[in-house]
Chain A
């Protein structure tokens, strides 16, 4: 397939069978290569890879806390600069959706504003999975989680997902993109571009979660594929303020093709499916409407 053979994360980690997050990190690291330092937020990836005295990481890696990877990376960025070795190193900050959309959002925004040089990867599995599938700002509309249960009165999460990549883009960063393990050539190309940025670059990674989304472990890639095919997770990039789709399905599939694969949506009524369909369509159309325009460039530079 022409992918690098070298692995930077080792077997024997304790992630669930079929984990979409570890698979994402595996490929991000392959694209980034040997000279990479990772700052990892508290979360599944951190826990399953570092049961002391063992580590799955083959590159320098640090975990501090949940909400501070962008700040820790800021310190590393400046420290490496002082040592005159900044240009030799790819610095990655990897945090889940809780770390990125919610608790660490301020730290991320601050680091972007200050113009640090590192690549932030939000590995989004759409809930607090490590603590047992609680709702986050990234949980999609009507999803069933342990803190937004599909009850008789309220059917799951009643708020839509926070549009983090667009919020990040509004800071005027030079590179923002969405990536998916269902499209590795697209993922590799985007990681490479992100690493070239001279300021914070941001990758929003779609990471299906077997226990959290309630689907058979073999379906991880299939679900990621359907997310893009239905417009739930479009693949695009915003480079120097200009948004471009990197993959555009000829015709979007009905969103139910994606929803019906997952237990977290099995409680949905026809009307709720329609609401999700409308929501996805509106968001998708918005992205189409700004494609190739200089909206992020002119507004925020």
Chain B
């Protein structure tokens, strides 16, 4: 059924369709519309789940961990400062290999306090052992939540995942969304069952102390599981296509007019729509532009990136976060992946600054002169 709804609403519907049982939540802008919809579902009796109105994001992520350990599917969402407050528990969850799913309505970090969109929150927690996907549209956000549960809970993966949506510029946007039926989702997403959970009939110990003789092995295993996820992401994308009649590139990356492109834009999230439009306008002028949309930053899809950008002469990478004293994070990582290419860095859209077609055109011109820059 196709309906024009807000992305936050689409995400809430995905959570409902995933038959989530426990939802610890703490309000923060711009995430709140998601949990408001979920609270309505619960209080109107259309979603059979328990909401825990915790007193902080730190407790939200902790209660999420508790719910998972009691062997039920759970959900929470946050933004910016909330994610920063959760920081400590993120690697506890990934280290314990719990398949948590959390939506981040991406927002800039304080100070100065700023409630608008960029990716500094997501990149600040990049190395905490969570997979991270970025959605471009409301429909992709809904689909990504469903795929995220399946992926995180896959036995060969068992790694938590953050579904990133741009705050306001995606979270509060109304778009037509094809909402799948419960039957279809049930045929895609298996019932929740952990191999290890808190069971009085089979007592296990979770979260012990790992001395120097063992700690490294757990971290290595987390990395291996994350690399296993690359294959699984592609499989799930294919299965999703079969069932829901839509998919997203190869699951890890999506290409747009890239085959003959001389200059390729690389970006994440909602600005990909603007980038597509810029590509089209540049092509009208005879300029061979293309777009590579990264869906995942963790696992980092290096093989898919190398394959997609094999023929590109120039690459313009757009970051909405920055590593102070160094470089923009996607740029750094892309350079490491494609060491023989000309890659230029453009920092855009921090703290909700508009990213327009003109920004991409300007980057195109600067890239032809091999120049980097912050574009306002």
Residues in A neighbouring B70, C-beta threshold 8 A: 75-76, 78-80, 82-83
B204 touching A75, Cβ below 8 Å? no
Q: Are A107 and B59 in contact (CB under 8 A)?
A: yes
Contacts of A51 in B (CB 8 A): 208-209, 211
Q: Which residue of B lies closest to A69 (CB)?
A: B62
Which residues of the other chain, B, contact A74 by a CB distance below 8 angstroms? 24, 52, 54, 59, 62-63, 66
| Chain B residues within an 8 Å CB radius of A77 | 66
Given contacts A60-B200, A110-B55, contact A75 B92 (CB under 8 A): no
For A89, give its contact among B50, B200, B208 (CB under 8 Å).
Answer: B200
Let me know if B165 is at the binding interface, CB within 8 A: no
CB-CB under 8 A from A106, the residues of chain B are: 55-56, 59
Does A79 lie within 8 Å of B22, measured CB to CB?
Answer: yes
* A44-61 with Cβ < 8 A to chain B: 46-47, 50-53, 55, 57-61
| Chain A interface bracket (under 10, 10 to 19, 20 to 34, 35 or more) | 35 or more
- Neighbouring A residues of B50 by C-beta, 8 Å: 78, 81-82
B62 touches A75 (CB 8 A): yes
Question: When chains A and B are docked, how far (Å) is the Cα of A113 from the Cα of B56?
Answer: 13
| Known contacts A74-B54, A78-B67; A68/B59 CB under 8 A | yes
Q: Which of A34, A53, A68, A70 neighbours the largest number of chain B CB atoms within 10 Å of its CB? A: A68
A82 to B47, CA, bound (A): 12
Task: Tell me, rounded to whole Å, the shortest Cβ–Cβ distance linking A207 to chain B.
Answer: 20
Q: A59–B200 contact, CB under 8 A?
A: yes
- A13-B205 Cα distance, complex, nearest whole Å: 14
Cβ < 8 Å to B, chain A residues 90-118: 106-107, 109-111, 113-114
Binding site for B on A (CB under 8 A): 34-37, 39, 46-47, 50-53, 55, 57-65, 67-68, 70-83, 88-89, 106-107, 109-111, 113-114
Of the A-B pairs whose beta carbons lie under 8 Å apart in the complex, a sample of 8, sorted by A's number, is: A60-B199, A62-B66, A64-B66, A75-B24, A78-B22, A78-B52, A79-B74, A82-B70
A-B pairs with lowest CB-CB distance, top 8: A75-B66, A79-B70, A110-B55, A50-B208, A71-B59, A71-B62, A75-B63, A68-B62
Q: Which residues of B contact A (CB under 8 A)?
A: 21-22, 24, 49-50, 52-56, 58-60, 62-72, 74, 88-89, 92, 198-200, 203-211, 214
Given known contacts A61-B204, A75-B63, what 11 new A-B pairs fall within 8 Å (CB)? A58-B203, A62-B206, A64-B89, A65-B62, A68-B62, A70-B59, A80-B70, A82-B49, A89-B200, A107-B56, A107-B58
